[in-house]
Structure 1
Amino acid sequence: MWSSAAAGLGLGLGLIVAIGAQNAHVLRYGLRRERVGLVVAICACSDLLLIVVGTAGVGTVIAASRTLTVVMTVAGACVLLTYGALAARRAVRGSDVLVVDADARPAPRASAVGGVVATTLALTWLNPHVYLDTVVLLGSLAAGHGDARWWFAAGAGLGSVLWFTALGYGAALLRPVFARPGAWRVLDGVIALVMVGIAGGLVLDLAAC
């Protein structure tokens, strides 16, 4: 029981602790201390739901459908390319509204909640990697634990909650670095490269299948 939970926790963290669309998005809002709780909650709850779905056996169905795989991959690549293009534009042009005061206690900017929710959901639910990691891979490995598969899923879910919470709220420790406009441009440049790289990898993997 506990060994299955520990295995799920370790694998969940291993899959999610990497630079990707979700993590870059959470980091960005964490650095700005803007809607952090909302972004973290959406990402964590989405992961939990997908892990449950995968553990229930849906992962096998998705993996077996070529049409569904193609649609998910193309849609996900388009979303990532769009997000990457926006990040690249910010990296080139810069933006004074992103500058933070490392010493002052900042007040969150009044970004529209609907926009934050829509972007976070899109980067989560339209990213094929999320399904491959949570639904297909974690779901398949959970099945190998038999009656303890839900303990495995619980461990993986705990890993997601811990990671997104730490990333979102721990980003404040990097605020002194991002008190300079140039640091934001570098971050956006890295985000753009990551998004384009992931999208390109998705397309190449699909073409190779």
Structure 2
Amino acid sequence: MLTSALAGFAASVVLIVAIGAQNAFVLRQGVRREHVIPVVVICAVSDLMLILAGIAGLGAVVTAQPTAVTIIRWVGAAFLLTYAALAAKRAWRPGALKPADHTPATLRATLLTCLALTWLNPHVYLDTVLLLGSVAQQHPHRWLFGAGAAVASGAWFSALGLGAHRLAPVLSRPAAWRVLDGLIAIVMVAVAVGLLT
């Protein structure tokens, strides 16, 4: 039983540690110290829901509907490219978005962005629902596998969001924010292109 939970933990860590759209957003919120706890909770709870859906067999249903996967892919890529354009604009011309950079984002706007980056990202479905779900089916205790995966997700988002403030001294200079926003833009574009190709 413990083996299944540890396997789920390890599989989840491998999938979520790579910097993607959701992780970049959590990192940015953590560094800015804006609505970090709600963002971490949304990411962890969303992952839990997706892990449970994958283990329950939603992956097989989604795979059987290629049109739905295609629509999710295009909508997700469009959203990621829009987010990348905003990050690139902040990196290229920091003064262009000055009011947004100096005024903290509202909780509502932050949560909506977090939800969109989570639920409109097709990689979430491919990695969490399809891949983790199918790997879980190979374990005799698939729900313990899912519990391990959920613990890994919660631990990762907590560490990323709550630990990011340690980067604040490094990112106190505007040039550092420009580099971070530039990297975020590149990651978003790479993920979007990967989805479309």
Give the TM interval when normalised to the shorter protein. over 0.9
Counterpart among 144, 169, 188 of residue 138 in structure 2: 144
The aligned counterpart of 2:170 is: 177
The aligned counterpart of 1:133 is: 127
Q: In the aligned structure 2, how far is the partner of 1:78 from the partner of 1:110?
A: 25
Deviation at 1:11, TM superposition (A): 0.5
Deviation at 1:172, TM superposition (A): 1.0
Q: In the aligned structure 1, how far is the partner of 2:16 from the partner of 2:3?
A: 20
Identity of aligned residues (%): 56
Q: How does 1:1-209 map to 2 (within 5 A)?
A: 1-95=1-95, 98=101, 110-146=104-140, 148-204=141-197
Tell me, what secondary structure is at the counterpart of 1:124?
Answer: helix
Tell me, what secondary structure is at the counterpart of 2:46?
Answer: helix
TM-score (norm 2): 0.95
Runs of 5+ consecutive residues of structure 1 not aligned to the other structure = 100-108, 205-209
Runs of 5+ consecutive residues of structure 2 not aligned to the other structure = none
Name the aligned partner's letter for residue 42 of structure 1: I
Number of residue pairs the alignment of both structures matches: 194
Q: Structure 1 residues 110, 193: closer, same or farther in 2, change over 3 A?
A: closer
Deviation at 1:150, TM superposition (A): 0.2
Q: In the aligned structure 2, how far is the partner of 1:161 from the partner of 1:66?
A: 30
Q: In the aligned structure 1, how far is the partner of 2:108 from the partner of 2:34?
A: 13
Name the aligned partner's letter for residue 125 of structure 1: W
Q: Deviations over 1:80-115 (max 9, x none)?
A: 00000000000011156758xxxxxxxxx6422211
Q: In the aligned structure 1, how far is the partner of 2:112 from the partner of 2:105?
A: 12
Tell me, what secondary structure is at the counterpart of 1:111?
Answer: coil
* Superposed structure 1 runs of 4+ greater than 4 Å apart: 95-99
TM-score (norm 1): 0.90
Name the aligned partner's letter for residue 178 of structure 2: R
Q: In the aligned structure 2, how far is the partner of 1:201 from the partner of 1:39?
A: 25
Q: In the aligned structure 1, how far is the partner of 2:94 from the partner of 2:86?
A: 11
Q: Deviations over 1:133-171 (max 9, x none)?
A: 11000001111113x000000000000000000000100
Q: In the aligned structure 1, how far is the partner of 2:184 from the partner of 2:60?
A: 32
Name the aligned partner's letter for residue 157 of structure 2: F
